[in-house]
Amino acid sequence: MRLNIRAELDYYFAEAADVLLALEVAPMADQRIVEDLLVVDGANGPLLPVPGEESIGRRTWLEAEGRFLATYTATVEVERATDPIAGLPAASRRALPALVVPYLWPSRYCEADRFAAFVAREFPGLEGGDLVLAMAAWIGEHVDYRPGTSDGTTTAADTFISRQGVCRDFAHLLTAFARAGGLPARAVSAYGLGVDPPDFHAVVEVWLADGWRLVDATGQSQADGLGRICVGRDATDISFMTIFGQAQLNQQTVTVTRG
Amino acid sequence: MRLNIRAELDYYFAEAADVLLALEVAPMADQRIVEDLLVVDGANGPLLPVPGEESIGRRTWLEAEGRFLATYTATVEVERATDPIAGLPAASRRALPALVVPYLWPSRYCEADRFAAFVAREFPGLEGGDLVLAMAAWIGEHVDYRPGTSDGTTTAADTFISRQGVCRDFAHLLTAFARAGGLPARAVSAYGLGVDPPDFHAVVEVWLADGWRLVDATGQSQADGLGRICVGRDATDISFMTIFGQAQLNQQTVTVTRG
Amino acid sequence: MRLNIRAELDYYFAEAADVLLALEVAPMADQRIVEDLLVVDGANGPLLPVPGEESIGRRTWLEAEGRFLATYTATVEVERATDPIAGLPAASRRALPALVVPYLWPSRYCEADRFAAFVAREFPGLEGGDLVLAMAAWIGEHVDYRPGTSDGTTTAADTFISRQGVCRDFAHLLTAFARAGGLPARAVSAYGLGVDPPDFHAVVEVWLADGWRLVDATGQSQADGLGRICVGRDATDISFMTIFGQAQLNQQTVTVTRG
Amino acid sequence: MRLNIRAELDYYFAEAADVLLALEVAPMADQRIVEDLLVVDGANGPLLPVPGEESIGRRTWLEAEGRFLATYTATVEVERATDPIAGLPAASRRALPALVVPYLWPSRYCEADRFAAFVAREFPGLEGGDLVLAMAAWIGEHVDYRPGTSDGTTTAADTFISRQGVCRDFAHLLTAFARAGGLPARAVSAYGLGVDPPDFHAVVEVWLADGWRLVDATGQSQADGLGRICVGRDATDISFMTIFGQAQLNQQTVTVTRG
């Protein structure tokens, strides 16, 4: 599937601040960049690219001051199998690649350690892909998608209690559940076709059999309608814009259409 | 300085469980392994080595069942400058190597995001190495080293309130402070000469100027008396033994002497 | 029903410490004290009685030092309707007695404010006694009674995540749920017939129609097999022994039999 | 000192909701109501007064719907000694009046139990009024008064970490410290002369010698410039308006002038 992507950020920085942007779709085997362009207005000095977590994708350091405009446009050809994960086995933990091991651990926003007993008692007898599907279904049934009910400090434990949140919170909860169930899971930022309201999206990848499988805990997007940007342990690693200072948001839009 | 290291773990597993050991000193430019040996009794099947975080050091997967004994002995030649970090500048954030960037973020046990205001008001005008030294001194003055007052769920925020803990907690607090102050910081497991009571040790590395600098927030060990095992975001990454199941501790000893 | 109650506390205080005991069954309309006796060995100076929360029951201040033994024996005639609470209406909030109003609020261990969305989405359309029964049933289905999995710092939010605990935790969770659903609820310490393993017990009273109704979230005891000691907002108010200092537990036994 | 007080609340309720107002100055020995008047527009049905916590002051239940206006005006004669609390002894814990005992405990927003070690190590050798003054001075030195940095879910532990907040947070922190130090402390809502920006104010009362002593942890008001409204364990008990539902704030003003 071909995706046309456009993201526009319009901010104001009263004082100069370091900014780390992660807007660009990552070139990967299952998503080919046909063309893309990042244009930044309002940066002091050069844009400094740096690879993302696990060398996936690219982030850009810059210093912003005053009016700041960043526009990213891309055409991406996604060729990703949408095979169901039902029936896929869990990988042997002891044979995990080194880069996958840390995704077994709890992280700042995914307190997997606290969910061990819940996962054991709520999903008995399930393994691998079936377990992940049951976890995602549980989240769909028990958590409401409600913009404005969470913020940048909300953790999986908070969402588990409040039972409401946005894509970030859904992704954190599924990530925490999967890790608590012994499955490596990572957070993924993406442009997603069908996300409503349109915005940067957060989904999950769970390591099953011998590879990462995409799961959207919100159910809004399909695996072949996602252009991945970055991966990481949770929202801290995959934020589309990390600001080391203060900024004022003027406007921000994301549009994803089928090409 | 030459260190003679010996660690013995004696556990009992009523049921088979996956175990990830991280006991071996990492071969690194500033710590040369003269000889070392890991002997494990009570594992089902082979020991499966896997590189540690950032490809530093080695961890070992195995399946344990019944009586489990692991003994690690090593002779390590540490040749590490103990230059004071006072006066060292902070690195430019925008020029950090890709692998260093994630150490700016908060993590499960180091909620750096919550300490930003504290760090700004408590350490005004300080930068780089001076800032780190002031943070370590603050911890030394305000936190008591008291075995038994914390556990595996204790976070930097908990320790900041309770004002007591062990090396793990001291390391978490300094890591959280440093990140809150804009400095990359990582947790390091190590064998440390002078640690009292003798045990696995946890220290901190802060990225200053153009490299990682060792800081022991507890003040128990010196930079040239440390044999590093693993690095990572916090205790989750550097645990000497991660058990996916239940085990009973019979006995555990660590000794580090000057060779 | 007639209950024979015996509680024995055996502690050691290396240094003198203030202690507040709450061991005595409260004389109330539905539980008549036939006879009771509190004997304390190891107190410096007099025992100083003080009424409990809402003037219900009696607590005793003392200073303990060295070996400390407290024995409480009682025979209590419980004449309490065990009418089902199904169908009972909620009281009008605006007509609540002044002493009942504070039981609408969250408290240290019952973060009712965090459960509002959960309660609204999990128990739609239910009110009053039916709502309380549904909440108690939910707890019975989703939380395991497992001694040793919680401690004195565990809150309702913790238990909601961990899904395990003891009577204290069950009571906190039901109390938090009820308050989140707009119903006044208080924690009650009691001697309960049938509690297994035998120990001090914690149950809940919910204000329905025009009075407090006993509910045991653990399902271990029946309303007519409970001798209430104290009431309060949560465990902090109803602890059987609050120690302002350090003590070592030697032994503690509670027995409740049918007279 | 004579205080002229005026509070105006202007809210909008899209749907009918129960509201508990606590706006009226409490008649007490040290603050005499010369005249006062509460006028409410937009309530369905009658206003239902109910005594406040400990029978101090008066709260008012009502059902609000649509535009809601409440205006409270009062002239109050405050005759309160402003004797310094320095040198005042702590009361004997074992002789505390029954109503004072619960103010030793932690509460929802004042996790006193977590501050025991901090208080012991930070304020060694201090007792009674001297201890309270040292605690208030510590807060003044270490916490910034910054509107907008906290909200209704912020606890004393949060403020201890973030080092910023408003009167509610300062009061919670002092309350938690005092209780951790063994001194009964309660939260008090009040109209305060000199509060800047003008708003409902929250202060603390600590039980010293044989009575409650007012302390403003923010230092903005003096004991003789305070008209107390309600007392309680923390913000939950003393909120000027508790809404059981949703409302939109249009405007709210508080003015206190010297008469």
Judgement on whether residues D108 and D225 belong to the same structural domain of the protein: yes
User: In this structure, how many other beta carbons lie within 10 angstroms of the beta carbon of residue C191?
Assistant: 29
Q: What is the largest CA-CA distance in chain D?
A: 57
Domain with residue C161: its CATH number is 3.10.620.30
Chain A CB contacts of C149 below 8 Å: 117
Provide the shortest C-alpha distance from residue C246 to chain D (in Å): 12
Judgement on whether residues A234 and A244 belong to the same structural domain of the protein: no
D101–C50 C-beta distance less than 8 A: yes
- What average pLDDT does range D199-205 have in this prediction? 98
A105–B55 C-beta distance less than 8 A: no
C132 vs B94: CA distance, rounded Å: 56
Helix (H, G, I), strand (E, B) or coil at C233: coil
Displacement of CA D170 from its chain's centroid (Å): 10
Do residues B221 and B234 touch, judged by C-beta distance below 8 A?
no
Which chain C residue has its CA at the smallest distance from D180's CA? C244
Selection from B59, B99, B68 nearest residue A96 by Cα: B59
Chain C CB contacts of D233 below 8 Å: 107, 233
Tell me the two tokens of residue D19. Answer: 């509201």
Output the pLDDT for position B17.
97
Q: Please check whether residue A88 lies inside any domain of the structure.
A: no
- What average pLDDT does range B79-96 have in this prediction? 93
Model confidence at D82, in pLDDT bands (50, 70, 90)?
Answer: confident
D182–C102 C-beta distance less than 8 A: no
User: In this structure, how many other beta carbons lie within 10 angstroms of the beta carbon of residue D46?
Assistant: 11
Cβ-nearest to A161 among C118, C142, C164: C118
Which helix (H) or strand (E) is B244 found in, with range?
strand B241-244
D69 vs D39: CA distance, rounded Å: 8
Output the pLDDT for position B200.
97
Tell me: the pLDDT tens digits for C31-67?
A: 999 999 999 999 999 999 999 999 999 999 999 999 9
> How many CB pairs below 8 Å do chains A and B form together?
71
Q: Please check whether residue B85 lies inside any domain of the structure.
A: no
Which chain B residue has its CA at the smallest distance from D116's CA? B162
Judgement on whether residues D245 and D205 belong to the same structural domain of the protein: no
Judgement on whether residues B16 and B66 belong to the same structural domain of the protein: yes
Do residues D240 and D227 touch, judged by C-beta distance below 8 A?
no
Half-sphere exposure of C184 (CA within 13 A, CB side): 22
Which chain B residue has its CA at the smallest distance from A117's CA? B245
User: In this structure, how many other beta carbons lie within 10 angstroms of the beta carbon of residue B118?
Assistant: 22
CB proximity list for C252: less than 8 A, separation 6 or greater: C7, C8, C9, C10
Judgement on whether residues B19 and B131 belong to the same structural domain of the protein: no
Does residue C82 have a pLDDT over 90? Answer: no
Interface membership of B162 toward D (CB under 8 Å): yes
Provide the shortest C-alpha distance from residue C169 to chain A (in Å): 15
Interface membership of C154 toward D (CB under 8 Å): no
Q: Which of D62, D155, D236 to mutate to test the interface with C (most CBs of C within 10 A)?
A: D236
Model confidence at D125, in pLDDT bands (50, 70, 90)?
Answer: very high
When divided into structural domains, chain C yields a total of: 2
- What average pLDDT does range B195-219 have in this prediction? 96
User: In this structure, how many other beta carbons lie within 10 angstroms of the beta carbon of residue C241?
Assistant: 20
C161 vs C156: CA distance, rounded Å: 9
C249 vs C11: CA distance, rounded Å: 5
Q: Which of D60, D96, D108 to mutate to test the interface with C (most CBs of C within 10 A)?
A: D108
Q: Which of B53, B108, B231, B238 to mutate to test the interface with A (most CBs of A within 10 A)?
A: B108
User: In this structure, how many other beta carbons lie within 10 angstroms of the beta carbon of residue A200?
Assistant: 21
Selection from A170, A161, A164 nearest residue A150 by Cα: A164
Judgement on whether residues C158 and C117 belong to the same structural domain of the protein: yes
Interface membership of C113 toward A (CB under 8 Å): no
Cβ-nearest to D95 among C48, C93, C97: C48
Degrees (nearest 5) of the Cα angle B175, B178, B184?
85
Q: Please check whether residue B88 lies inside any domain of the structure.
A: no
Judgement on whether residues B144 and B205 belong to the same structural domain of the protein: yes
Q: Please check whether residue A85 lies inside any domain of the structure.
A: no
Output the pLDDT for position D259.
87
Interface membership of B184 toward A (CB under 8 Å): no
* Chain A residues 23-52 with a CB less than 8 Å from chain B: 48, 50-52
Interface membership of A140 toward C (CB under 8 Å): no
- What average pLDDT does range A32-43 have in this prediction? 96
CB proximity list for D198: less than 8 A, separation 6 or greater: D253, D254, D255, D256
> How many CB pairs below 8 Å do chains C and D form together?
71
B143 vs D117: CA distance, rounded Å: 10
Tell me: the pLDDT tens digits for B33-82?
A: 999 999 999 999 999 999 999 999 999 999 999 999 999 999 999 999 88
Judgement on whether residues A147 and A197 belong to the same structural domain of the protein: yes
Model confidence at C158, in pLDDT bands (50, 70, 90)?
Answer: very high
Judgement on whether residues C134 and C208 belong to the same structural domain of the protein: yes
**What average pLDDT is seen over chain D?**
96
Do residues D189 and D141 touch, judged by C-beta distance below 8 A?
no
Does residue A83 have a pLDDT over 90? Answer: no
Interface membership of A113 toward B (CB under 8 Å): yes
Q: Which of A40, A55, A60, A108 to mutate to test the interface with B (most CBs of B within 10 A)?
A: A108
* Tokens 């008995």, residue located: A124
Judgement on whether residues C139 and C125 belong to the same structural domain of the protein: yes
- What average pLDDT does range B98-125 have in this prediction? 96
Tell me the two tokens of residue D58. Answer: 């008066």
Model confidence at D136, in pLDDT bands (50, 70, 90)?
Answer: very high
Domain with residue A31: its CATH number is 2.60.40.2250
- What average pLDDT does range D205-209 have in this prediction? 97
Output the pLDDT for position B259.
87
B162–D114 C-beta distance less than 8 A: yes
Interface membership of A164 toward C (CB under 8 Å): yes
Output the pLDDT for position A59.
97
B206 vs D182: CA distance, rounded Å: 40
Interface membership of D161 toward B (CB under 8 Å): yes
Selection from C61, C56, C21 nearest residue D93 by Cα: C61
Output the pLDDT for position C254.
98
Tell me: the pLDDT tens digits for A161-190?
A: 999 999 999 999 999 999 999 999 999 999
Judgement on whether residues C72 and C125 belong to the same structural domain of the protein: no
Does residue D246 have a pLDDT over 90? Answer: yes
Do residues C71 and C38 touch, judged by C-beta distance below 8 A?
yes
D20–C101 C-beta distance less than 8 A: yes
Chain B CB contacts of A95 below 8 Å: 48, 61
Selection from D233, B34, A52 nearest residue C102 by Cα: D233
Interface membership of D161 toward C (CB under 8 Å): no
Q: Which residues share a beta bridge with A231? A: A188
Cα–Cα separations (whole angstroms), residue D145 to B182, D162, D220: 24, 11, 10
Output the pLDDT for position B184.
98
Q: Please check whether residue C88 lies inside any domain of the structure.
A: no
Find the domain containing A108 and state its range: 93-238
Cβ-nearest to A161 among C114, C121, C149: C114
Interface membership of A141 toward C (CB under 8 Å): no
Q: Using alpha carbons only, how large is chain B's radius of gyration in Å?
A: 18
Tell me: the pLDDT tens digits for B232-250?
A: 999 999 999 999 999 999 9
D162–B157 C-beta distance less than 8 A: no
User: Please, is D146 exposed, middle or buried when counting C-beta atoms within 10 Å of its C-beta (0-12, 13-18, 19+)?
Assistant: middle
Do residues C192 and C201 touch, judged by C-beta distance below 8 A?
yes
Cβ-nearest to A163 among C117, C142, C161: C117
For D236, list phi and psi in degrees, rounded to 5.
-60, -35
Q: Which residues share a beta bridge with D90? A: D208
Q: What is the ipTM of this complex?
A: 0.94
One-letter amino acid at C84 equals P
Which chain B residue has its CA at the smallest distance from A239's CA? B105
Q: Please check whether residue D176 lies inside any domain of the structure.
A: yes
Chain C CB contacts of A160 below 8 Å: 160-161
Interface membership of C140 toward A (CB under 8 Å): no
Chain D CB contacts of B154 below 8 Å: none
**Taking the alpha carbons of C151, C155, C160, C161 in that order, is the dihedral positive or negative?**
negative
Provide the shortest C-alpha distance from residue A245 to chain B (in Å): 10
Selection from C96, C39, C86 nearest residue C62 by Cα: C39
C53–D105 C-beta distance less than 8 A: no
Cα–Cα separations (whole angstroms), residue A51 to A28, B98, B199: 13, 6, 37
Q: Please check whether residue C86 lies inside any domain of the structure.
A: no
A101–B50 C-beta distance less than 8 A: yes
Share of residues in chain A with pLDDT > 70 (%): 100
Do residues B1 and B194 touch, judged by C-beta distance below 8 A?
no
Chain D CB contacts of B117 below 8 Å: 144, 149, 162-164
A161–C161 C-beta distance less than 8 A: yes
Does residue C141 have a pLDDT over 90? Answer: yes
Provide the shortest C-alpha distance from residue C126 to chain D (in Å): 17
Q: Is the pTM of this model over 0.90?
A: yes
* Tokens 């995914």, residue located: A110
Model confidence at C259, in pLDDT bands (50, 70, 90)?
Answer: confident
Cβ-nearest to B114 among D115, D149, D162: D162
B91 vs B111: CA distance, rounded Å: 22
B208 vs A49: CA distance, rounded Å: 21
Judgement on whether residues D217 and D142 belong to the same structural domain of the protein: yes
Q: Please check whether residue A75 lies inside any domain of the structure.
A: yes
Helix (H, G, I), strand (E, B) or coil at C65: strand
Q: Please report, in angstroms and rounded to a whole number, the separation of the first and last CA atoms in chain D.
A: 8
Do residues A159 and A142 touch, judged by C-beta distance below 8 A?
no
As a three-state string, the secondary structure of chain A is CEEEEEEEEEEEEEEEEEEEECCCCCCECCEEEEEEEEEEEEEEEEEEEEECHHHCCEEEEEEEEEEEEEEEEEEEEECCCCCCCCCCCECCHHHCCCCCHHHHCCECCECHHHHHHHHHHHCCCCCHHHHHHHHHHHHHHHCEECCCCCCCCCCHHHHHHHCEECHHHHHHHHHHHHHHCCCCEEEEEEEECCCCCCCCEEEEEEEECCEEEEECCCCCCCHHHEEEEEEECCHHHHCCEEEECCCEEEEEEEEEEEC
